[in-house]
């Protein structure tokens, strides 16, 4: 997978996604999308794909004609949500909402969905190639006491996390089971991303 002549942009300012993407050895820059994200879809898998498409498309359109546009351009957009029995749990507005979200997750299985969109373009191509996919991981919490829930909230970790918890943070000690890719829960399904990039680059580029 030779990416020497391709400018790679991660359309997210999430430090967790930056760390995961950096871990596979890609040189990239971060340009977050500030587009208003109001999905029309309602199913969790479709919501995350739509949101990732919005993010990647926004950054791609803004950077397609940059001065170094003689290089190829790959924009990676991603979005993660938590779903409990079909109810989407986003980022909590305050500590009270974070407490309520973690209380709902206590002792139950829930699903984590991450949608990813790849926008690829190289001079000479009529249109960019766009690939959107999602990964799903099941996460289970042990039953939590009020004190344990407060501990998670008071750590300050829930406020910018879907579902009000970070699996690599304080809440991780209360996870009983994970079915699927843990990277997907952190924010980027790296193994699936690598496979999709291999397919993208192995195809003729013009």
pLDDT at 202: 67
pLDDT, averaged across the chain:
90
Beta pairing partners, 178? 139
* 30 vs 25, higher pLDDT: 30
pLDDT in tens, 114-153: 999 999 998 888 889 999 999 999 999 999 999 999 999 9
How far apart are the C-alpha atoms of 206 and 190, rounded to whole Å? Answer: 26
Domain ranges of the chain: 6-202
Q: Does the annotation count 79 as an active-site position?
A: yes
Helices (H), the chain: 15-22, 44-63, 95-105, 146-154, 182-186, 190-202
Beta pairing partners, 133? 116
pTM above 0.85, yes or no: yes
pLDDT in tens, 65-99: 776 656 889 999 999 999 999 999 988 999 999 99
Query: Of the residues 4, 68, 79, 94, which is catalytic?
Result: 79
pLDDT at 1: 52
| HSE-up of residue 15 (Cα within 13 Å, Cβ side) | 4
pLDDT at 2: 59
How far apart are the C-alpha atoms of 53 and 60, rounded to whole Å? Answer: 10
Q: Kindly report the CATH class assigned to 6-202.
A: alpha beta
How far apart are the C-alpha atoms of 139 and 68, rounded to whole Å? Answer: 43
């Amino acid at each position: 997978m030779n990416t020497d002549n391709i400018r790679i942009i991660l359309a997210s300012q999430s430090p967790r996604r930056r760390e995961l993407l950096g871990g596979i050895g890609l040189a990239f820059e971060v340009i977050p999308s500030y587009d208003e994200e109001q999905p029309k879809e309602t199913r969790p898998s479709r919501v995350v794909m739509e949101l990732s498409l919005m993010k990647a498309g926004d950054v791609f359109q803004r950077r397609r004609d940059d001065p170094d546009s003689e290089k190829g351009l790959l924009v990676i957009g991603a979005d993660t949500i938590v779903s409990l029995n079909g109810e989407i749990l986003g980022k909590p507005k305050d500590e009270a909402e974070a407490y309520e979200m973690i209380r709902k997750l206590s002792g139950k299985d829930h699903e984590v969905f991450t949608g990813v969109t790849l926008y690829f373009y190289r001079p000479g191509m009529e249109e960019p190639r766009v690939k959107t996919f999602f990964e799903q991981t099941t996460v289970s919490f042990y039953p939590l006491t009020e004190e344990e829930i407060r501990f998670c909230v008071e750590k300050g970790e829930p406020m910018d996390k879907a579902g009000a918890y970070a699996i690599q943070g304080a809440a991780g000690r209360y996870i009983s089971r994970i079915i699927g890719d843990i990277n997907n829960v952190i924010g980027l399904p790296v193994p699936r991303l690598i496979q999709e990039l291999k397919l993208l680059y192995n195809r003729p580029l013009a």
